[in-house]
Amino acid sequence: MSKRWENIVVIAVFFGFLAAVAVGGLVQKDRAKSTLEERALAKRPPVRVADIASGKFGRDLETYLSDQIFLRDGWLFLHSTLNMRGLGKVEMNDVVVGSGGALLGDLSGHKPMSEAKIGTELDATIAQFKELDALVGSYGGKLLVVGHPTKNSFLRASYPTGFGFPEDYTRIAPRYFAALDSAGIANVDMAPILEQHRSEGLYLLTDHHWTFRGGYLTYVAMMERLGLKPLAEADLDIQTLPNQFAGSFNRKLAMAFPETQKLVIATPKVPIPYARTQDGKPSPSFFKNHAPGVGVSYRIYDQGDLAEIVVDTSRPSLPNVLLVGDSFANVIETLLWTGFNQSRYLDLRHYTATSLYDYVRMYKPDVVITLVRDERYLYRVGNGLFSGSGAETDTE
């Protein structure tokens, strides 16, 4: 082969590749959002002289071209797969590969709290619960605080060398429940209960949430602590969805790990008539679309993280309940309503109409439950802020 042909081959490969990706990007239709990244993708920026002059146009164009590059998800998958499975990396994009293939959150950037800080924060947190307890008690209601370990905490022994679950978090949990006990606030610590069921796969392998089983056990513990009868598994029509599941941690790795797990949903065997609204609009289903062939994520449960959900069963003989919690509450929400007249579910990260105190004053639920995960025991933002009414930055 002559030197000339060698050069032609090199030029063809190089510019052929660049041109193919460029033309592919031109030909394909722009995507509005990425399900892999769970975000809106950039749109073509308008050409404005002011933006060109300031450099904003260039920055926006760069974002647009990167977001809309031909086969974007494929490039991301290739990069993650090369690194995680090819080069055997154990951490990427704040996700750590634990033993047994469990994906965990990288908490190595966590700034540990001093003992003094823990004490101060705990006092403030308990003071808030006391105020809520007094408010609920003023009309004869009950407050229940349910704390549970996160996947990172529950599987902390699975972290590889160099990583771990922050020690101060593990110190906080016992003090948190002791303080609740001292304050006379009813509570459930799910850690020892879940521990008894460790072998039952309580957390999703590639997601940061628990499985249906983990949520169900928490629901049972809640109901029993309130002196109410939970639905037994025999009372439920439990269904394993065949749909392809996408775990939140795996998405952060561009789905480099094969998804072997399937999501489980349950409905009462004996139908209970109900009316359900989410953020004020009627929406009868407790589950997101899971038609055959549709990919599903943990957000399937109770249609994901919504500000306010109200389920009315028109059974006045039963108490009314208010459950406040983040996404871990979503599985529980699909079960809890079956035992109450009216169920209200609030996610204070998204609910901004009024404060929790005012909400309780308005509806006077017989039972108020707050579901808190251990990494948020001392947080007084989002679902930990009872007096505010603004959405905050705690997005997990």
Partner 1 sequence: MLFSSVSFLFAFLPLAVCVYFVAPGRHVKNLVLLALSIVFYAYGGLGSLAVLGCSILANYLCGLAVDHFRDVPRAARTALVVGVVVNVALLASFKYLGFLAGSVSAVSGISLPVPTLIMPIGVSFFTFEGLSYIIDVYRAKAPAQRNPLDVALYMGLFATIMSGPIVRYSQFHEQIRGRSDRLEGLAAGAKRFTVGLAKKMIIAGALGTLANSAFATPDVDLSVAAAWLGALAFTGQIYFDFSGYSDMAVGLGQMFGFRLPENFDYPYISQSVTEFWRRWHISLGTWFREYIYIPLGGNRVTRLVNLRNILIVWALTGLWHGASWTFVVWGVYYGALMAVEKFVLGDRLERIWRPIRHMATMLAVVVGWVIFKSDTLGGALQYLQTMLGLGGQTLVDGRALFYLAQYRFELIIAVVASLPLVPLARGWWEKSERSALARGLFTAGTALVLAALLIVSTSYVVSTTFSPFLYFKF
In the complex with partner 1, the residue whose CB is nearer, 40 or 362, is 40
Q: 3-class DSSP state for residue 300? A: helix
User: What whole-number distance in Å separates Cα of residue 297 and Cα of residue 274?
Assistant: 25
Answer whether 57's CB lies under 8 Å from 45's CB. yes
Q: Taking the complex as a whole, how short is the minimal distance between the CB of residue 14 and partner 1, in angstroms? A: 4
In the complex with partner 1, the residue whose CB is nearer, 196 or 395, is 395
In the complex with partner 1, the residue whose CB is nearer, 68 or 334, is 68
Q: Which residues sit at the interface with partner 1, rule CB under 8 A?
A: 1, 3-11, 13-15, 17-19, 21-22, 25, 33, 36-40, 52-55, 58, 61-63, 65-67, 69, 72, 75-76, 78-80, 82, 87-91, 93, 108, 160-164, 208, 248, 251-252, 254, 299, 304-305, 327, 395-396
Q: Taking the complex as a whole, how short is the minimal distance between the CB of residue 25 and partner 1, in angstroms? A: 7
Q: Taking the complex as a whole, how short is the minimal distance between the CB of residue 344 and partner 1, in angstroms? A: 22
In the complex with partner 1, the residue whose CB is nearer, 218 or 330, is 330
In the complex with partner 1, the residue whose CB is nearer, 53 or 270, is 53
Among 389, 387, 394, which residue's Cα sits nearest to residue 354?
Answer: 389
In the complex with partner 1, the residue whose CB is nearer, 237 or 396, is 396
In the complex with partner 1, the residue whose CB is nearer, 119 or 160, is 160
Beta-ladder partners of 277: 282, 310
In the complex with partner 1, the residue whose CB is nearer, 239 or 244, is 244
Q: Taking the complex as a whole, how short is the minimal distance between the CB of residue 142 and partner 1, in angstroms? A: 31
User: What whole-number distance in Å separates Cα of residue 323 and Cα of residue 325?
Assistant: 6
Q: How many CB atoms lie within 10 A of CB 69?
A: 17
Answer whether 207's CB lies under 8 Å from 298's CB. yes
In the complex with partner 1, the residue whose CB is nearer, 40 or 178, is 40
Q: 3-class DSSP state for residue 252? A: helix
Q: Taking the complex as a whole, how short is the minimal distance between the CB of residue 173 and partner 1, in angstroms? A: 22
User: What whole-number distance in Å separates Cα of residue 103 and Cα of residue 96?
Assistant: 6
Token digits of residue 326? 């983040």
Q: Taking the complex as a whole, how short is the minimal distance between the CB of residue 93 and partner 1, in angstroms? A: 7
The region that residue 92 occupies, defined by phi over 0 for left and psi between -120 and 50 for alpha, beta otherwise, is: beta
The shares of helix, strand and coil residues in the chain, as percent rounded to the nearest 5, are 40, 15, 40
Q: Taking the complex as a whole, how short is the minimal distance between the CB of residue 309 and partner 1, in angstroms? A: 17
Kind of pairing between the strands at 186-189 and 264-268? unpaired
Q: Taking the complex as a whole, how short is the minimal distance between the CB of residue 147 and partner 1, in angstroms? A: 21
Token digits of residue 114? 């001093």
Answer whether 303's CB lies under 8 Å from 373's CB. no
Q: 3-class DSSP state for residue 209? A: coil
Print the SS3 string covering 50-62.
HHHHHCHHHHHHH
| DSSP characters over 122-136 | HHHHHHHHHHHHHHH
Q: Taking the complex as a whole, how short is the minimal distance between the CB of residue 359 and partner 1, in angstroms? A: 23
User: What whole-number distance in Å separates Cα of residue 82 and Cα of residue 94?
Assistant: 17
CB under 8 A, 24+ apart: contacts of 74-77 = 76/36, 76/254, 77/254, 77/255, 77/256
In the complex with partner 1, the residue whose CB is nearer, 4 or 29, is 4
Q: Taking the complex as a whole, how short is the minimal distance between the CB of residue 315 and partner 1, in angstroms? A: 33
Residue bearing tokens 């260039």: 58
